[in-house]
Amino acid sequence: MIQAPLAALSPNSDFVTACYIVAFSLFIFGIRQGTHPSTARRGNLIAAAGMLIAIAITLSTDVIGNGVLILIGILIGTAVGVVASLRVQMTDMPQMVALYNGVGGGAAALISWSEFRHVSAGGSSIPLDIFVPILFSTVIGSVSFWGSNIAFGKLQAIIPSRPVQFPGQHIFNGLLLAAILAGCIVLGIDHDSPSQGLYIGVLIGAAVLGNLFVLPIGGADMPVVISLLNAFTGLAAAAAGFALDNVVLIVAGTLVGSSGTILTLEMSRAMNRSIANLLFSGFGAVSAAAGEREERPVHSIGAEDAAIKLGYADSVVFVPGYGMAVAQAQHAVKELADELQKRGIEVNFAIHPVAGRMPGHMNVLLAEADVPYEQLKEMDEINPEMPRTDVAVVIGANDVTNPAAKDDPNSPIAGMPIIEVNQAREVIVIKRSLSPGFAGIDNDLFYKDNTSMLFSDAKGAASDIAAQVEEL
């Protein structure tokens, strides 16, 4: 047996707990270092060191058995993790995070299931202070696993990213949730000899709920869903910690839960919509039908005109959106920014909190293209600068620049904070067509006098303009 030489420590001994305390302190310290780009990488390594300590000390306790299976699990997990993290493209990070949320939730649910089977073996009674966390972790973990898989499918375009709905879906989901809770309560009352079948029923019910709850949510609302599922997995891990009396699981799970909660709240604030509205409205599906568009004249230009506008400006702000990610245009945009900076033009990037498909998506893409982080400006930071900006270039963004959010109280996006590009002296919108964005409404910005439309895909347009600027 592999574990034999080290298997000496009791998992409840002070030494083991002390090591766990060191581990979660390193997690907190590591996240604390993540508050600035210059220290974040070190912070990540510090957190990883904490993880290594926690795993090593657990492996040396006397509860460890089935060493070969542990080795198999670790080897498979390591192989998948290494390959995935090295091969994933930065544009696909939302999918990756969705998958990681999923496996984390899945692990928590599986562990709870196994713990349930263990403590209920031989028809023995389960204390409620263990059973309640087991049930919580089972339900949340399972919802998180299946919901994340759907989110992954939508982001990867395996299943349609538009809201998928059927009549009475919300009522059905509500009843399903009520049934799951009822099942948990019955199991809790019967904690002397809980029914294995009912437990499996709860597990399956939670799986179905996870699927149904993400399906009706549209693509552009994914930043909220991913953040919420992130919070769920954290809480599932914390609950598993309650069930197993394990302090590092409780603290680490709670940290992740807080992080996911903060991000969820920030995302919903950036959309000016309540979480309930985001989760239950099927936003894109409803308003797309309402978006009736009239034909209005736009001012269309080519790469050459755009190059002249940009090349003779003093300050330029780029406003990237999901379209930049889809077109993989971040490197071309960076080239264009370089050309402009060679001419002494001040270049900044204005990043809306919900631009892209996950929190911070645009920042990572631009960092990949070597844009220094000082140039990545948050919405609140850049908006006061907009009136002093000569040209704002909107690349693959739409709803987050729509002035209707401020001007039209009847607009579906009324009250949503926007990047105020319409305040800039001139606006260039690089877009393939006039088609509406995710909210399904027309963007008034396109029809303003100081707006020029450059109809092209983001990558081609950026390289064309860069080439033209070079020749000026």
Out of 245, 299, 312, 387, the only residue in the binding site for another protein (CB under 8 A) is 245
Neighbours of 231 (CB within 10 A): 22
Distance CA 192, CA 387 (A): 69
- Residue 259, interface with another protein (CB under 8 A)? yes
Count the site residues for another protein by CB under 8 A: 114
Distance CA 327, CA 462 (A): 11
- Residue 120, interface with another protein (CB under 8 A)? no
Question: For this structure, is 399 an active site residue?
Answer: yes
Rounded (5°) CA angle 249-252-254: 100
The amino acid that residue 313 corresponds to is A
- State in angstroms the smallest separation of the CB of 323 from another protein: 18
Kindly indicate which of the ranges 166-174, 259-267, 305-313, 444-452 contains the residues binding another protein, using the contact rule CB under 8 A.
259-267
363-402 binders of another protein (CB under 8 A): 363-364, 367-368, 370, 372-374, 376, 378
**Strand, helix or coil for residue 343:** coil
- Residue 251, interface with another protein (CB under 8 A)? yes
Contact 73, 95 (CB under 8 A): no
45-64 binders of another protein (CB under 8 A): 45, 47-48, 51, 54-55, 58-59, 63-64
By DSSP bridging, strand 376-378 and strand 346-351 are parallel
Out of 6, 8, 185, 262, the only residue in the binding site for another protein (CB under 8 A) is 262
199-218 binders of another protein (CB under 8 A): none
86-105 binders of another protein (CB under 8 A): 86, 88, 90, 93, 96-97, 100-101, 103-104
350-369 binders of another protein (CB under 8 A): 351, 353, 358-361, 363-364, 367-368
Nearer of residues 217 and 267 to another protein, judged by Cβ: 267
**Mask 14-33, x = binds another protein (CB under 8 A)?**
----------x--xx-xxx-
Out of 89, 114, 195, 435, the only residue in the binding site for another protein (CB under 8 A) is 114
**Strand, helix or coil for residue 43:** helix
Distance CA 423, CA 239 (A): 49
Token look-up 């600035």 returns 36
**Mask 304-343, x = binds another protein (CB under 8 A)?**
----------------------------------x--xxx
Catalytic entry in 192, 245, 314, 399: 399
Contact 397, 319 (CB under 8 A): yes
Out of 1, 8, 18, 117, the only residue in the binding site for another protein (CB under 8 A) is 117
Token look-up 């989901």 returns 173
- State in angstroms the smallest separation of the CB of 150 from another protein: 17
- Residue 192, interface with another protein (CB under 8 A)? no
Distance CA 234, CA 113 (A): 17
- Residue 237, interface with another protein (CB under 8 A)? yes
Out of 153, 163, 183, 234, the only residue in the binding site for another protein (CB under 8 A) is 234
Give, in order, the Cα–Cα distances in Å from 344 to each of 104, 315, 317.
Answer: 48, 9, 14
**Strand, helix or coil for residue 318:** strand
Kindly indicate which of the ranges 37-45, 149-157, 395-403, 432-440 contains the residues binding another protein, using the contact rule CB under 8 A.
37-45
**Could you tell me the two tokens for 396?**
């693959």
Q: Tell me whether residue 269 is exposed, middle or buried, using C-beta atoms within 10 angstroms of its C-beta: 0 to 12, 13 to 18, 19 or more.
A: middle
- Residue 248, interface with another protein (CB under 8 A)? yes
Closest CA to 379 of 410, 407, 336, 348: 348
List Cβ neighbours of 207 (8 Å cut-off, separation of 6 or more).
142, 143, 145, 146
Out of 2, 34, 176, 448, the only residue in the binding site for another protein (CB under 8 A) is 34
> Could you list the active site residues?
399
